[in-house]
Amino acid sequence: MTVVREAVKATLRAQTIETPSWGYGNSGTRFKVFAQPGVPRTPWEKLEDAAKVHEFTGVAPKVSLHIPWDEVEDYAALAAYAEDHGLRLGAINANTFQDDAYKLGSVCHPDAHVRRRAVDHLLACVDIMDATGSSDLKLWFADGTNYPGQDDVSARQERLAESLATVYARLGEDQRILLEYKFFEPAFYTTDVPDWGTAYAHCLKLGPKAQVVVDTGHHAPGTNIEFIVALLLREGRLGGFDFNSRFYADDDLMAGAADPFQLFRIMYEVIRGGGLAAETGIAFMLDQCHNIEAKVPAVIRSVMNVQEATAKALLVDHDALASAQRTGDVLAANAVLMDAYATDVRPLLREVRGEAGLNADPVAAYAASGWSEKTATERVGGEQAGWGA
Ligand code: LRH
Ligand code: MN
Ligand code: MN
């Protein structure tokens, strides 16, 4: 048992979770953005907040950027600033969903000029990756149609494939496309990349440097996400996760808040398929917004929730499970999983943090640090940067 415990602890120490720059900024729903005091005004300040999450959790050394929300003049300088704060820049998220030109779509738009504009933005994002040392170009397209007959659905797939191929050809050796899917919103009739199957088909055609991102909030209610994870992992096309929680649609609540059991089941399939090994390159990212709760502690809480799900999944007794599965003992097999899920892993994680020289309670340590009071006093004036700003 101690051998298992030590191995679990080593894996938890090695785990990394990437946090989203936009999670630190003001955000809201389409009804209202509630501004919070001390919220970052610039990408540089978002990195300062992200550094606090890493300081207190020890497992969040990477930050995803969203372009142009995080537009700066000198991306190499931003990467250096990240490094000065103990961080690295992670995925570069392209944004082809906020310009007026994209009303009928971006890379799938019927007009070649608009498609070119969208592709140029994606290519500019690869330039940014060159400057920041990021390896992942994360693509989510709001493209789709609202009404039957609005556009030729199949022609839109052709345009998508062409646009993606142009961007793929520009990737450096260590760079990849992470293609994200979402079943609806903002389009309500057809979405051009609605599901993992469409994303997978495009990735297959593109080549090995194209993989699928699973955003946990992007499925129809009741979808078995862990099955999708297992399948993509088997096929070598699971590029990463956008973790968040949903009760209804793409709610972007804290990961592990709505359905911690689902997060456990996902992490179990990741571990079962060897997906925690660094060589797989699977990016464990958060993609969430903190509309009413304090942002930095919410990101810390989310990171801890992912850690807890991972720890529980690591505790699954594989031998007992394999034997129950072999003998067709349905109840015993299920009990093995449920035993792991029912384990209180918080003492184990406190131990892991203590051994790494961290405070066992990251939320309390952050609260005691005075960072939120300091930023509330110092970060006044200017435009607050972020989602909906
Ligand atoms: C789309 C999405 C995508 C965007 C982010 C802000 O719903 O999940 O990942 O980049 O939200
Ligand atoms: Mn996402
Ligand atoms: Mn989303």
Distances (CA, A) of 261 to 147, 257, 276, 282, 341: 37, 10, 19, 21, 7
pLDDT of residue 381: 78
Whole-number pLDDT of residue 3: 82
Confidence of residue 245 (pLDDT cuts 50, 70, 90): very high
- Reply yes or no on whether the pLDDT at 388 is more than 80: no
What confidence tens digit (pLDDT) does each residue in 272-317 have?
Answer: 999 999 999 999 999 999 999 999 999 999 999 999 999 999 999 9
Whether the CA torsion 140, 138, 306, 365 is positive or negative: it is negative
For a mutational test of ligand 1's pocket, the pick from 27, 64, 93, i.e. the residue with the most ligand atoms closer than 8 A to its C-beta, is 93
Q: Whose CA is nearest to atom 5 of ligand 1?
A: 287
Task: Tell me which H or E stretch contains 117.
Answer: helix 112-132
CB 46 within 8 A of CB 24: yes
Atom of ligand 1 nearest to the CA of 22: 6
156 in Cβ contact with 199 (< 8 Å): no
Structural domain spans, the chain: 15-314+345-378
Q: Are strands 144-145 and 210-215 parallel, antiparallel or unpaired?
A: unpaired
The binding-site residues of ligand 1, defined as CB within 6 angstroms of any ligand atom, are 22, 93, 140, 180, 182, 215, 242, 250, 287
Q: Which residues contact 249 (CB under 8 A, 6 or more apart)?
A: 184, 185, 217
pLDDT of residue 383: 61
Residue whose structure tokens are 């005004």: 41
- The DSSP H or E segment spanning 19 is strand 18-20
Distance CA 216, CA 147 (A): 26
Which residue's structure tokens are 């550094």? 51
β-strand pairing of 238-243 with 283-286: parallel
The mean pLDDT value for 136-153 works out to 98
Average pLDDT over residues 105-127: 98
User: How many whole angstroms separate alpha carbon 275 and alpha carbon 229?
Assistant: 10
Per DSSP, helices labelled H in 273-326 are 295-314, 318-326
Beta strands, E only, 181-301: 190-191, 210-215, 238-243, 283-286
Burial 79-112 (b: 16+ CB within 10 A, else e): bebbeebebbbbbbbbbbeeeeebebbbbbbeee
Q: Supply φ then ψ for residue 340, to 5 degrees.
A: -65, -45
Question: Which class for 28: exposed (0-12), middle (13-18), buried (19 or more C-beta within 10 A)?
Answer: middle
Q: Is the pLDDT of residue 63 over 80?
A: yes
* Model confidence at 72: pLDDT above 90: yes
Question: Residue 299, CB half-sphere, CA atoms under 13 Å: how many?
Answer: 34
**17-31 per-position pLDDT tens digit:** 999 999 999 999 999
Q: What is the reported pLDDT for 2?
A: 80
Percent of the chain with pLDDT over 70: 98
The whole-number pLDDT of residue 389 equals: 46
Mean pLDDT of all residues in the chain? Answer: 97
What is the arithmetic mean of pLDDT over 182-191? Answer: 98
Residue whose tokens read 């290519």? 123
From the CA of 142, give the closest atom in ligand 1.
1
Could you give the CA distance from residue 153 to residue 238 in angstroms, rounded to a whole number?
A: 26
Query: Sign (positive/negative) of CA torsion 145, 120, 164, 231?
Result: negative
Atom number, ligand 1, closest to the C-alpha of residue 185? 7
pLDDT given at position 382: 64
Q: Ligand 3 centre and the CA of 347: distance in Å?
A: 33
Residue of 215, 250, 290 best suited for mutating to test ligand 1, as the one with most atoms within 8 Å of CB: 215
The dihedrals phi and psi of 286, each to the nearest 5 degrees, come to -100, 145
pLDDT above 80: residue 367: yes
Q: Which atom of ligand 1 is nearest to the CA of 95?
A: 10
Residue 385 above 80 pLDDT?
no
Determine the Cα–Cα distance for residues 309 and 71; give it in Å rounded to an integer.
34
- Which residue matches tokens 């440097």? 209
Confirm if 349 and 311 have CB atoms less than 8 A apart.
Answer: yes
Among positive and negative, which fits the CA dihedral 301, 306, 309, 315?
negative
Question: What is the spatial distance between Cα 31 and Cα 98, in angstroms, rounded to a whole number?
Answer: 17
Please give the ipTM for the structure prediction.
0.99
- The ligand minimizing its distance to the Cα of 185 is 1
Query: Would you state the CATH architecture of domain 15-314+345-378?
Result: Alpha-Beta Barrel (3.20)
State in Å: Cα 242 to ligand 2 middle: 5
SS3 139: strand
Mean pLDDT of 227-242: 98
